[in-house]
Structure 1
Amino acid sequence: MPNITIAPATAERFDDAEHALTGGGDGASCQCQWWMITNAEWQKTTREQRERMLRAEVDAGPPPALIAYVDGEAAGWVRVGPRPPQVRLRRTRSFSEHSEEPWDDESVWTVSCFVVRKEHRGKGLNARLLEAAVDYARESGARVIEAYPLDPNAGKKIPVNDLYHGVLSTFQDAGFREVARPKPYLAIVSLDLTG
């Protein structure tokens, strides 16, 4: 049984964050900046610039994500934090037209991105990362967590690289309720942290 631990993505763990992000999928090129900048800004930035943006974000704190370790090796990542700074979420019509929460409310947090290295997939890391993200958000004063997972059982083949959103069943198992279904395969889920 592997030993799984989860820790905040702090400045001293930046190399671990990079290791987690670069083990498969789009994490290496994205640097978890997709939701942080507009499409126009995205088109103008290089991978190296996005890495510098992530480093600046991590250095400035508070930690924008959590890192999962399997037997001491950085194996996964989840972005969790206040929703307003993630500007592309608000600009995504499927989300902006269906969220129950005001977009400028800093007490609304979001889980917007998962990355798990290929060699560590199938070990339940997304569920462990989500559980830790909920705890982190609650401890940080979040009122609600929202997320935008995909439903692979909705009849559409979902490319593996799109699963960075997370899978609907993982959120449902963690107690999130579905608040909208903007597309047959795309859900908006929410968890109230005040109770």
Structure 2
Amino acid sequence: MADFAIKALTVETFGDFAALVERNKGMFASCWCTHFHPDCAEKAQSAEGNRALKERLVADGIAHAALVYDGDRAVAWAEYGSPEELPNIQHRKEYVATAERLPDYRVTCILVERSFRGQGLAAIALRGAVELIAQAGGGRVEGYPHDTGGVRKKNSSFLYNGTRAMYEREGFTYDRPKGLGNCVMVREVAPSTRG
């Protein structure tokens, strides 16, 4: 297996992120990974508008992701952020009704470039997001993966946030169901001691 590096999504790495998204046709409906951010006038107008929105959110420090690099090319990412930064989760009404407390961070989207799938990069991206959260002070982290019962029932293109089994391997525990095919997974992340 090749060595993959993790970098945070920043103004400096936005071009690498943009190249990855463009190679993947803007993601689902050209959303540019803006779907989970708060609604605003720019969102969902066009691929160009979503790209500009994402770039502005990154510049403002309110859009986060762990980018997975193969050499100098970003090939995967895991989007994460606070509930305020990423409020538009799927099955939100049910989620709020069953939540005992909100997390400090949530992981909302994981993408692996098609030609790199099957190499464990979704787990590497999730691990990278957890490491970046630890560097930011840690806290309660939630993810909302597909609960496939350990059997791949969906094309990997539609597993936008990985699987329950992957989250369990990365130290998350099952909390509750969310919608028909997803669940809430939780992990307490300690602050990083790395300087």
Give the shorter-chain TM-score range.
0.7 to 0.9
Q: Which residue number in structure 2 is paired with residue 110 of structure 1?
A: 106
Aligned-pair CA distance for 1:193: 2.1
Query: Whole-Å Cα distance in 2 between the matches of residues 166 and 184 of structure 1?
Result: 15
- Give yes or no for contact 2:9–2:65 (8 Å, CA) kept in 1: yes
2:92 partner letter: T
Deviations 1:21-72 (A, max 9, x none): 23437626111100003499755x2111110010001122266111111132
Local SS of the residue matching 1:178 = strand
- Give yes or no for contact 1:20–1:115 (8 Å, CA) kept in 2: no
Q: How does 1:78-89 map to 2 (within 5 A)?
A: 78-89=78-89
Taking structure 1 as the reference length, the TM-score comes to 0.84
Q: Which residue number in structure 1 is paired with residue 73 of structure 2?
A: 73
1:178 partner letter: Y
Query: Whole-Å Cα distance in 1 between the matches of residues 5 and 40 of structure 2?
Result: 34
Local SS of the residue matching 1:164 = coil
- Give yes or no for contact 2:75–2:112 (8 Å, CA) kept in 1: yes
- Give yes or no for contact 1:19–1:75 (8 Å, CA) kept in 2: no
Q: How does 1:1-195 map to 2 (within 5 A)?
A: 1-24=1-24, 27=27, 29-38=30-39, 42=43, 45-61=45-61, 64-89=64-89, 92-102=92-102, 108-153=104-149, 157-194=153-190
Query: Whole-Å Cα distance in 2 between the matches of residues 156 and 120 of structure 1?
Result: 18
Q: 1:63 to 1:5 in 2, by over 3 A?
A: farther
Aligned-pair CA distance for 1:143: 1.4
The percentage of aligned residue pairs carrying the same residue is 22
Deviations 1:121-148 (A, max 9, x none): 1111111111111111122123100111
Query: Whole-Å Cα distance in 2 between the matches of residues 56 and 63 of structure 1?
Result: 9
Query: Whole-Å Cα distance in 2 between the matches of residues 69 and 182 of structure 1?
Result: 31
Query: Whole-Å Cα distance in 1 between the matches of residues 92 and 79 of structure 2?
Result: 18
Structure having greater relative contact order (Cα 8 Å, sep ≥ 6): 1
Q: 1:69 to 1:49 in 2, by over 3 A?
A: same
Local SS of the residue matching 2:88 = helix
Query: Whole-Å Cα distance in 2 between the matches of residues 185 and 12 of structure 1?
Result: 36
Taking structure 2 as the reference length, the TM-score comes to 0.84
More helix by share: 1
Q: 1:76 to 1:49 in 2, by over 3 A?
A: same
Aligned-pair CA distance for 1:158: 3.1
2:54 partner letter: L
Q: 1:56 to 1:100 in 2, by over 3 A?
A: same
Q: Which moved more, 1:63-72 or 1:108-117?
A: 63-72
Local SS of the residue matching 1:158 = coil
Local SS of the residue matching 1:175 = coil
Aligned-pair CA distance for 1:93: 2.1
1:122 partner letter: G
Query: Whole-Å Cα distance in 2 between the matches of residues 64 and 98 of structure 1?
Result: 26
Query: Whole-Å Cα distance in 2 between the matches of residues 40 and 187 of structure 1?
Result: 30
